């Protein structure tokens, strides 16, 4: 049986400072959806219209209906996110679906300093003209690939890979010290960042 990785944000207390707060975000379910052909992609678009009233318009655009969100993580790839108390809709047979709720950790970053904090760490343009409210992006945050959505003028919802959640949370907490945050030293502990597999090489 696969080992269940601990979720470091589950024990996160509300850590507030002037203009910045960290809170756990706990979707009830996350599914990765994928189309594999033009016919499959057409079925996915038709399903989006039936559930959300529209199809994904392009990179960065998202859909929402009730407690459901749909994020375009790649061409023909989506993350379907269901909030607590929201049932997952039926899916077309032409679309592949894989549950990945346990593969992500959710974090809600809020406050007037939230954009400043993310701008220090994430390789993505967070200006409202480039990432408007509701828009989605995938970015590198201190070496870690994260998904984020602008949930409000000064609010961001992040999905972090559970394997690197402790490191990423530590990086965010460390960066928040500049804005007056007083964090638990355990949260500030930053494990070794993820590294690529070593490659053999020689100097000539």
For 204, residues 6+ apart whose C-beta sits below 8 A from its C-beta are: none
Question: 188 vs 48, which has greater pLDDT?
Answer: 48
Written as six digits, the tokens of 25 are 């975000």
The reported pTM is 0.81
- Residue 14: is its pLDDT beyond 80? no
CATH among 3.40.50.300, 1.10.101.10, 3.30.1360.120, 3.90.226.10 for 16-179:
3.30.1360.120
Average pLDDT of the residues of the chain: 83
Confidence band of 60 (pLDDT split at 50, 70, 90): confident
| Phi and psi at residue 104, to the nearest 5° | -130, 155
Helix (H, G, I), strand (E, B) or coil at 198: coil
């Amino acid at each position: 049986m696969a080992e269940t990785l601990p979720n470091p944000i589950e024990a996160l207390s509300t850590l507030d400072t002037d203009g910045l707060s960290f809170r756990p975000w706990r979707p009830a379910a996350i599914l990765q959806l994928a189309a594999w052909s033009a016919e499959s992609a057409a079925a996915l678009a038709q399903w989006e219209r039936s559930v959300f009233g529209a199809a994904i318009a392009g990179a960065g655009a998202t859909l929402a209906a009730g407690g459901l969100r749909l994020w375009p993580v790649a061409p023909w790839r989506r993350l379907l996110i269901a909030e607590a108390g929201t049932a997952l809709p039926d899916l077309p047979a032409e679309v592949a679906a894989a549950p990945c709720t346990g593969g992500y950790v959710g974090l809600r970053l809020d406050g007037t300093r939230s954009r400043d904090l993310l701008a220090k760490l994430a390789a993505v343009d967070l200006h409202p003209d480039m990432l408007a409210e509701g828009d989605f992006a995938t970015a590198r945050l201190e070496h870690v690939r994260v998904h984020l959505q602008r949930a409000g003028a000064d609010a961001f919802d992040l999905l972090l890979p559970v394997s690197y959640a402790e490191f990423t949370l530590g990086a965010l907490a460390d960066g928040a010290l500049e804005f007056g945050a007083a964090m638990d030293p355990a949260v500030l502990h930053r494990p070794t960042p993820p590294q690529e597999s070593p490659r053999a090489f020689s100097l000539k």
